Structures are given as C-alpha cells and as structure tokens.
Amino acid sequence: MRKGKIAFFVTGNVHKFHEARAVLREFGISTAMLNLDTTEIQADDLDAIARFSALEASKKTAMSIFVEDAGLFIDALKGFPGPYSSYIYQTLDTKGILKLMRDTTRRNAYFSSAVAFSDSDKDSEIKLFHGRVNGKIVHKEQGICGFGFDPIFEPLAKTGKTFAQMTQDEKSRYSHRAEALRKFGAWYIKRYTRSRL
C-alpha cells in the first residue's frame, strides 16, 4: 500500500469503524478513526444530518474527513424511527420496537446509509454516497454480533439470518453501510489517484 492512501472517519462508534475499515481495505485504503464531538442535528433527512456533521468536523479538524449516518425505516410504523434511529435505540432499544410491532404482520423495513465526505478546502462541495438494504423485522431478537437494531433486522438476501447473526464479513456483503462505503471507496481511490498525478 502506498503511503498516504488513508481516509479519516469521524465517529465515536467502534463497530462502524471496524466495518468501514474492512470495506475500505478492499480498495487499498487505510482508515483512521477520529473520535470528535460533532452536532447531530435533528432532521427528517439522513443527507442533511450527514452533510452537517461532515462540514462541522472538517472545519474543526482542518482535515479531509468522512462521516456516516444511518437509519432503520419500518413500513408499519410509517418510516419510524428513520433518521432518529440512534436516539430511539438509546431510549426504546430493540425491545421497544418489537413491542410497537407485536400486533402487526407487516414486517417490511429497510436500512439506509449516507456517507458524507468533506474536503479540508472549506469551499469544496460535500460528496454524498448512499446505500440501502431491504429486509424485515423479525419477531424476537436473534444473534449477539453487530450493534443497534441488528438483532431484529433480517435482510432479504435469503440467508435466514439477522445482521446480528452474521460475521463481519457476511454483514459486509449485504449491509447498507457497506454499499455506501464501497461507493465512497471507489470514488476516493479515483480522487487520490488524480491528486498524485
């Protein structure tokens, strides 16, 4: 790996960091974790949240960085918790979501991810990359791996497993975050290559 091919990920979530590091390694990119306090605005749009966090982090560090924000969108709950997933997980947990859904047979849901890259150049445009995985909410928690709502979400990949029952490598084949990160990785490598010419 050539020196300098590194991406700085602003996150306090070590699980997200490990997933990002594994995915970006496929592109020959090293990933460094920056645990930095940023403002997580309350908004109905993942892009707006990720864009704001990336811009703030880039200004604070004077570095080129990327951030990631994700949400679980449940059809029967009209898209709830969506962009508020982190807060809802902290307050209701997976058990609270299962309780809200105990009387419904409509289990369709999807995870969505937005990766935002901000250059150290304050005038540069924020680049956004997206990933989505369709699936369903299972009736009880299954698995001990992963984090967040992973134990209650089963992707429509005919694996018969929730994200929490998968190894990191398995999850990276299907996850919304991995899809967004791969799009980012492909773009970042092209950008890096152009900047070295």
- Would you name the residues annotated as active-site residues? 69
Helix (H, G, I), strand (E, B) or coil at 121: coil
Can you name the residues that pair with 33 across neighbouring β-strands?
9
Residue 190 structure tokens: 């092209």
Helix (H, G, I), strand (E, B) or coil at 124: coil
- Return d(Cα 183, Cα 115) in angstroms, integer: 9
Tokens 């951030």 belong to residue: 67
- Return d(Cα 20, Cα 16) in angstroms, integer: 6
Cis peptide before 81 (omega within 30 of 0): yes
User: What separation, in Å, do the N-terminal and C-terminal C-alpha atoms of the chain show?
Assistant: 17
Residue 146 structure tokens: 């992963």
Can you name the residues that pair with 32 across neighbouring β-strands?
8
Closest CA to 34 of 53, 48, 52: 53
- Return d(Cα 164, Cα 143) in angstroms, integer: 5
